[in-house]
A and B are shown apart, each in its own frame.
Chain A
Amino acid sequence: MEFPRLLALLLLVLDWTQPGLSSPLRPICDLRVLNHFIQEARDAEGAMKSCREGCGLSQSVTVPQTTVDFDVWEKKNAQEQAQEVQTGLWLLQQSLNTLQTSVTNTAMHSHIDNTIRNLLSINAVLRSLNIQEFTPPANATDLEGTWRVSLATDLLQVHVNFLRGKVHLLLSSAQACKPDVS
């Protein structure tokens, strides 16, 4: 008679002390979040175009291709699309880090910092959509589907086009955001 009560108490205690796997994130399906990042990326590109001094890239960087051919894109499966997007985001992050060290203009520093933070946020959004995390290989810079740019303006333009294109397509077609069809 005492035993069921003790057992219940024990289960409760164990439940509280259970090493917590974090509860799954709620999927962020509202594309206005991405639209906000796109707007800020546009602002950074515009600021870079009007920057006269201390706004150059010290070296050429590798950036993802932004081209979207819908016939080609639709032939890829969801995983390939996700990997392509995550690879591109990783490349952009590396390039923006290089830009950050190259730029001496303080106004541009804030834009670049904001852009890097937004890229991290996009990764979080992808995680919320149950998209498997993908780490590109070390030689990703030599992979197909990349470009080499040497101008800061080209880098930021690629960044904007990548967000508007492939990232937007991936998020808009995410399975987690589609209504359940049972």
Chain B
Amino acid sequence: MMTCEILSRLLALCAIACIARAGSTLQDARDFEEKVSILLKEELETPKCFAEGRKDFTCFWEEDEERAGSVHQYSFTYTYQNENSSRCPLSAVPAAGGKMLIVCHLNRIQMFVQMDIQVHREGILIHNRSLLIELVFLLDPPANVTVSSTGQQGQLNVSWVPPPLKYMDDSMMYEVFYSLADSHIGQVEVARACSEYILRGLQFSRKYKVQVRVKLDGVSYNGYWSAWSDPVFMETLPTEFDPLIISLTLIISFIFIVLCLAMLLSHHRFLIKKIWPAIPTPDSKFQGLFTIYGGNFQEWLGQTNGGLWLTPAFIYSEECPSPLEVLSELSLCPSLPSPPLPPKASRALSAVRNEGRELRNGVEERALLVKDNLDGETDGERAAPHHHWLLDRLRALHQHQVPCSQSSLLESQDTYVTLSANNNSDDERVDSNLEEALPLEALFPSGNTALCESHSDLGSAPQSSGSGCISSQSSFEYPNHAWMAKGPGYTYMAVADSGVSMDYSPMSRVDENGKVPVYTNEYKNMIPAHRKPFLVRQYPVHGDG
């Protein structure tokens, strides 16, 4: 019984040893294949030779399996300097791709001395090479590569066991390759004569892959880079909040906030003015309107001298490169009913009242504008009477402010615009027409600046010079008896202002017979030019504000 037990144990041990040996042999075979593949890429000379340690030396070359035949027809002869030659026993190893490797392996070698190698096949020299064995090392990859955390963020400590080669520890150099686990692109760090390396600058909470390889440094010994070790994966530490950094951040933020508040408080008035500007109210313009009359404008008008003001708004309107004459009736019969003012007109009136003084200057400017815009016809002599007439008109208006306050200037919503033509051949005619039209010129108080159409929109006025200024806010009625066609040099257009939109209807140029043809075009509300009576519309006015 005892003997059987002992025998069975021995058998088990033998089996384990055989398996282990087979395993190591298998591993050796794999390592050899790996080195062969490396040398086939790196070494150009034949035979390809490498030293694995202080005593092992291997040479091989490739032959086609079909051509190789028997190994015995090959001979491998090596000769050290100043010594006799020796022969190396050869073996054949099958390789991939229908190739065969013929291998020479030596267990005893001499370093730091030149070695001459000759390979013969059936007596014929096929390969020849001279080398120094200590310069062709091809080592195994570093073993036991371990990656651990250093305790600091973004760092990993890589350590390995150097190849067990005596006297050569100081001559080894290593390359450490590291990359993110899911990436093939990484970085390589070089380490010399050491067995660990600290990787820095890594990302937090990321998994890294690390590999190491080794080579002799090339001073006393040299060789090829080994294969990369098996990859090792390790995750870096997550971010940690450093209390010092947090406290410093809080302190700096607090100081910054205090500084901002101090700055804001010191300029609070300016900022409030900019961010929350005061809404202007017309109280100051209408003294007593809201305080005494409760916003009843009619009553207020009846008690005050609120009249017709002419605002220079129209005068100061945007430049109108082409002459534009707005025809309107400023002073009408006082018997006309006085409907409530449209809100726009009331604002216009308030603006005009306040800018009465500027109006005179504005009129002069306007006169100049009109003068200048006449193409090729600017003439100081013509401008002078023009200028005087306007001033006279203004004075008249100011004197008759009360009755005119209820004029239909505020009632009508139609604005009739005349556009002077550029290519007037009849200069004199134009001049006379101008003078005739002058009495009809008026400057409308308008809350908005006049809208200038640079080219037409006014497509129905081909003779127009191209631009005319049209007041978008004007609501004045034009008395039929006061208006006259200026002549063939002018194109007339009726403008109907509904307060929401303006409809421009052409009043085409007047032919010599005095008949004004009607232009058919896309404009709305076509009003034939010969229609004399003008529309009188009651414009409902709501309370201001």
**A→B interface (CB under 8 Å):** 31, 35, 38-39, 65-71, 147, 157, 161-162, 164-166, 168-169, 172-173
Contact = CB atoms under 8 A, between A and B. Distances in A.
B431 interface: no
A70 B55 contact: yes
Contact of B112 (A31, A35, A166, A172): A166
Given A31-B170, A67-B80, A164 B219 contact: yes
Interface string B149-174: 00000000000000000110010000
B305 interface: no
B456 interface: no
Contact of A165 (B82, B109, B111, B170): B111
B7 interface: no
B205 to A, nearest CB: 40
Contact of A164 (B54, B114, B220): B220
B108 interface: yes
B454 interface: no
Contact of B167 (A35, A69, A169): A169
Instruction: Give the residue among B108, B166, B219 with the most A Cβ atoms within 10 A.
Output: B219
Contacts of B134: 164-165
B535 interface: no
Q: Name the 6 nearest CB pairs between A and B, nearest first.
A: A165-B112, A67-B113, A164-B220, A161-B112, A70-B54, A35-B219
A173 B169 CA distance: 11
B220 A168 contact: yes
Contacts of A65: 82, 113
Interface in B157-207: 166-167, 170
Contact of A172 (B55, B82, B114, B170): B170
Interface size on B, as a range, is: 10 to 19
B112 A164 contact: yes
B304 interface: no
Given A31-B170, A173-B167, A69 B219 contact: no
A68 B110 CA distance: 5
Main secondary structure of the interface of B (DSSP, over half): loop
A147 B82 contact: yes
B216 to A, nearest CB: 11
B220 to A, nearest CB: 4
A70 B111 CA distance: 8
A68 B112 contact: yes
A11 to B, nearest CB: 45
B80 A69 contact: no
Main secondary structure of the interface of A (DSSP, over half): helix
Nearest to B222: A164
B219 A39 contact: yes
24 contacts: A31-B170, A35-B219, A35-B220, A38-B219, A38-B220, A65-B113, A66-B113, A67-B80, A67-B110, A67-B111, A69-B108, A70-B54, A70-B111, A70-B166, A147-B82, A161-B112, A161-B132, A164-B219, A165-B112, A165-B134, A166-B112, A168-B167, A168-B220, A169-B167
A161 B219 CA distance: 11
Contacts of A67: 80-81, 110-113
Nearest to B135: A164
B388 to A, nearest CB: 108
A166 B132 CA distance: 15
Contacts of A66: 112-113
A164 B220 CA distance: 5
Instruction: Give the residue among B81, B108, B114 with the most A Cβ atoms within 10 A.
Output: B81
A39 B218 CA distance: 10
A38 B112 CA distance: 13
Given A35-B220, A67-B110, A68-B110, 17 more contacts: A31-B170, A35-B219, A38-B219, A38-B220, A39-B219, A67-B111, A68-B113, A69-B109, A69-B111, A70-B54, A70-B166, A157-B114, A161-B132, A162-B112, A165-B111, A168-B220, A172-B167
A8 B114 CA distance: 66
Nearest to B55: A70
A171 to B, nearest CB: 10
Contacts of A69: 108-111
Contacts of B110: 67-69
B335 to A, nearest CB: 120
A70 B134 CA distance: 12
Contacts of B55: 70-71
Contacts of B109: 69
A147 B114 CA distance: 14
A173 B81 CA distance: 26
B107 to A, nearest CB: 10
A35 B80 CA distance: 25
A169 B220 CA distance: 10
Nearest to B168: A172
A164 B113 CA distance: 11
A119 B61 CA distance: 41
A65 B111 CA distance: 11
Nearest to A169: B167
A157 B132 CA distance: 12
A169 B445 CA distance: 111
A121 to B, nearest CB: 17
Instruction: Give the residue among A65, A147, A168 with the most B Cβ atoms within 10 A.
Output: A168
Contacts of A70: 54-55, 111, 166
Contacts of B111: 67-70, 165
Given A39-B219, A67-B80, A169-B167, A161 B54 contact: no
A44 to B, nearest CB: 16
Contacts of B167: 168-169, 172-173
A162 B113 CA distance: 9
A123 B114 CA distance: 26
A114 B13 CA distance: 63
Interface string B84-120: 0000000000000000000000001111111000000
A166 B134 CA distance: 13
Nearest to A172: B167
A71 B219 contact: no
Nearest to B82: A147
A71 to B, nearest CB: 7
